[in-house]
A and B are shown apart, each in its own frame.
Chain A
């Protein structure tokens, strides 16, 4: 049994130094304010700057493993993701999950056309899955694709689409076959500049605009844009959804624990730092335990992935664990601030310019997105534990 990550050998120092210099030279300055969560730039100038940034990285040979079919040097990848994460700005633009679908089900031509520009940041993608009437029950989606000659005509509506207003292509699920449920669904590559597509930014409870609504009115898309075969869309999508749920849990919460300690040091109650209050110390200890367990769970998932023994309950478990811990820690972060928690971003007295208030609001996204936690619990109980399935309505 072993979870130690081999230390990066000294000969890689030169690579890191080169990369740091590259970042110092090319890192764009943005209007955008870093926040927790999957956040999207709000101006075209930021998007253009980010595209140039990702393109420059790629052209200089700083390529992420997820965008390469060749296995890349493991130590270089670690250094690359560490250093890019430290910049605090995105280095993957849009929602790249279509990549997995294309690798598994795409034609050679589709792969050649779409994968390299996605890696270079030239093409920004978004995922067109959720609908107003198909959230938890995604197989009930109603967006239609009607075959008309060599094209499909798409009509319907999607929602909760990140990056849609800046995206060049959409990874679309639509109902093309005359059957209900999963078997009627087909996956498409949808160029977002086609006539009949209307993207409307959606302002969320955070006050920021990270999602969109997307409307389709007779959008004509060639049948050659189908990923896999007509009616296989659910299979195509299943793999990427699993990745997304696992991905939610991969985000760390260790930083937030340190943030809570800092908050408790910097705020007082009745003249005493909150960190001296034994009930606060107990709470921080409890959050720290859950945060560390999240890390241990990731070791277990990585081991199962390597051994091919991932079970149906594993991704839902990680998703529930992370999203609920994240929400509780954000709420606790506010409670440590006392009345100051009433201030938000923009007030000069707000702690860390309202970072925790934004985290508190955005945390609500994670318990819903990628399959609500209630659906995750159904999956754990039914597919993980083998309890009887929920009865289905007609």
Chain B
């Protein structure tokens, strides 16, 4: 039994934390909250040297991981990036890299993976028209034309759409769901920056109008494999999102505990009141529950455990809600100061609430969990 990050992973954590303190602290993220673009490419390129985009890419394409559980390594990075509410397209770029590594053609891998690994190319993932994880909500049509497809339609809530060099687009074709690579600045691709609740990330609406895509840009095949790519991406995104949430929640929780020790009212630190202590105890319980849920999901997916689907659904439902609740408690326990623009807590709350509805909301993950348990108990009954 070894349910803990190993020494190399802890070293990776320290290196990443130091790097972020210098180059992309929470304070620096706050300074750009109200600008059009929050994404700093020079930070991204340096981050790539620390492995931000390389873990899921095979060594042949300039990738590489710290341990033989690349997704667990990546979860360490995600926790640290979550801690500072990192704005860049960490999740979508890794999802696209992973999709190419798993299903891309040799040419696609050779063209793109080394650029992604080096931080030269950033990616966005266009899934559905309403941001939900359902195949039927895909709102881009891929119409077959000689030697390829023509894309028409829209994908919404696309993280990093405005800065992406390459888009992985889910589209409906006659053969079923298909994923295609589209250069970010193609003619016919129009990105509108959405005014978001989450100030630390930029989401976009991506419209496709008669965008020609060569057959060589199809990732995998249309149909069952197209749906598998979507499912795989959602699984990965959920794992990384949960790990980010753990990092963010942990930072905020520690800050709130410290505040309760420092803030004096009625002649006592407010953390000495039992009504508040019990709330802190509950926050601690929920923090640890989030931590193990996110950690187990990363491990189960990394190792392809039989309960990997289940673990992702646990993380996707529990962690998302607990992160949001943690931010709400942190705000309440800070009192009036927490309600100011100046204080950090609302930036976390905005992130948590936005995370909740992307890559499958908690209700979607709970339904998945119920289905998986039904299937397992049906098998048991049949025995």
Contacts and interface: CB of A to CB of B under 8 A. Distances in A.
Interface residues of A, number: 46
Interface string A150-166: 00000000000000000
A303 B1 contact: yes
Contacts of B370: 261, 281-282, 284-285, 288
A339 interface: no
Contact of B269 (A293, A381, A388): A388
A296 B290 CA distance: 10
Contacts of A90: none
B367 A285 contact: yes
B278 A377 contact: yes
Contacts of A386: 257, 261
B2 A388 contact: no
Contacts of B374: 261, 275
Nearest to B2: A2
Contacts of A384: 281, 284
A49 interface: no
Interface stretch (B117-125, B187-195, B204-212, B312-320): B312-320
Contacts of A108: none
If over half of B's interface residues share one DSSP class (helix, strand or loop), that class is named, otherwise mixed; here it is helix
A336 interface: no
Interface centre among A258, A286, A307, A378 (most CB of B within 10 A): A286
Contacts of A78: none
B229 to A, nearest CB: 25
Interface in A369-394: 374, 376-378, 380-382, 384-390
Nearest to A284: B370
B357 to A, nearest CB: 16
Contacts, number: 156
Given A3-B3, A299-B292, A380-B285, A282 B366 contact: yes
Contacts of B285: 317, 320-321, 380
A261 B373 contact: yes
Contact of A387 (B280, B282, B299): B280
Interface string A269-285: 00000010010011011
B377 interface: yes
B288 interface: yes
A262 interface: yes
If over half of A's interface residues share one DSSP class (helix, strand or loop), that class is named, otherwise mixed; here it is helix
Contacts of B268: 388
B280 to A, nearest CB: 5
Interface string A301-326: 01100110000010001001100000
Nearest to B292: A296
B10 to A, nearest CB: 12
Nearest to A378: B277
Interface in B279-312: 280-282, 284-285, 288-289, 291-293, 295-296, 299, 303, 305, 310-311
B15 interface: no
Contacts of B376: 258
Contacts of A4: 303, 305
Contacts of A258: 373, 376-377, 380
Interface centre among B285, B370, B376 (most CB of A within 10 A): B370
A293 to B, nearest CB: 5
Contacts of B288: 297, 300, 317
Given A285-B366, A387-B257, A300 B3 contact: yes
Interface in B326-383: 363, 365-370, 373-374, 376-377, 380
B6 interface: yes
A278 B296 CA distance: 27
A300 B282 contact: no
A299 B317 contact: no
A293 B316 CA distance: 12
A3 B314 contact: no
A277 to B, nearest CB: 11
CB-CB nearest 7 A-B residue pairs: A285-B366, A377-B281, A381-B277, A388-B272, A296-B292, A380-B281, A299-B3
Interface of A: 1-4, 257-258, 261-262, 275, 278, 281-282, 284-286, 288-290, 292-293, 296-297, 299-300, 302-303, 306-307, 313, 317, 320-321, 374, 376-378, 380-382, 384-390
Given A3-B296, A292-B293, A300-B3, 14 more contacts: A1-B3, A1-B6, A1-B299, A2-B303, A4-B305, A296-B295, A297-B289, A303-B4, A313-B284, A317-B288, A378-B277, A381-B280, A385-B257, A388-B261
15 contacts: A2-B1, A257-B373, A281-B370, A282-B367, A285-B368, A289-B317, A297-B288, A297-B292, A303-B4, A306-B1, A306-B2, A374-B278, A376-B281, A387-B257, A390-B274
